Structure 1
């Protein structure tokens, strides 16, 4: 009788142990879905040139509570009980309120311009010991590459004196040129499985180099060199996208299969 009970116990427990040690949730390992990442617009500006606090040097409309909303599509695959690999494509539309001066006279371009940014990220999620990927609390890390383009008004200008005549200078770089930046995404989150098919994922992340760039002007070796006029957009577009990616909270919904 005791032998029969032991055998019955083994038959019941063994499948549970097998499932708990293998990758995936109930045999399902892949998640495909959509996510929304949110970053508050404080001193920067949105694509319609609105901001919360603004800056005396800029032209943005202040007093507006706005967020940078980044859209994401992602694909993830559980590699083991605690490791999940993923790739994602994010899209951000924002703006840059022209504040960077080009010379010692504090001349800066008028108005603002619009930014479109696509970010490609490959990442790993490491789940804490008591959870099974893709369910539970995790740490995320991975490299990201942003491809950015601008759209500025053809009348964006600075006023300069050329040959004793006031002249509007409008050459700040081409809208047809792509700009690039790389960073390292780090964050944490919590994912829950609903109805054994839907994955609700939420948390926060930051980008390491973007975070470091926020304190760079305070460092003793930082430079105040003025950018070249035709490099103005190349420098400011990367600065603006770094600010938008510096810290984000997110919520995602995925389909588990």
Structure 2
């Protein structure tokens, strides 16, 4: 699927997510009509219709900014809108982990850590990350793990929020690399395997990585509260660490997990 049709789908999904005017609360179709959104954005209905249909090109900054405001887009979604409206070729990031990044990964003995590449492929990890999440030799992709392994729903407290985050990361990647055959194959595979993935993908969520707290329910250790800290490299790879607050029960649990991971 190309960026032109992807732009139309993104606009339609976002338009459908907006609340209609109070007088139109009995509508059968959710969201705003095209003419209502065009009016909010201050652009002509004809031009907006052509954008949704992939027949408009070279949208100006002012038009894209107005649409972003009318649709209530956040920073990640606004950047995604720009990428779809003005597609450019981006060099594929390497699937090989940079040596310095691997050295850093190996140095993190007491911290679960992994290196993620495009499509949320798990390119490298330390033993503690595998002990916390799963055996990445068997499941080297976080999105596939999230939607096809029942253990993921048991591990992540608030699984649906985590699932939506992962789809948002994948959507952001798709906006940069819309012609990546491996990404398209992954989306097709998961759309067939998981109705939840199929529904979330159709909503067009977009997320950029940032620090966040994760609550997990580990089968051996019980509840853990961890801070997920992503460090993005210039090679398009992300080192994700899971750290616990000093002196917390979760820190003690990670220390125990580290001892179990090496035995």
Which TM-score bucket, shorter chain as reference? Answer: under 0.3
Q: Which has the higher helix share?
A: 2
* Pair member with larger Rg: 1
TM-score by length of 2: 0.26
Normalising by structure 1, report the TM-score: 0.26
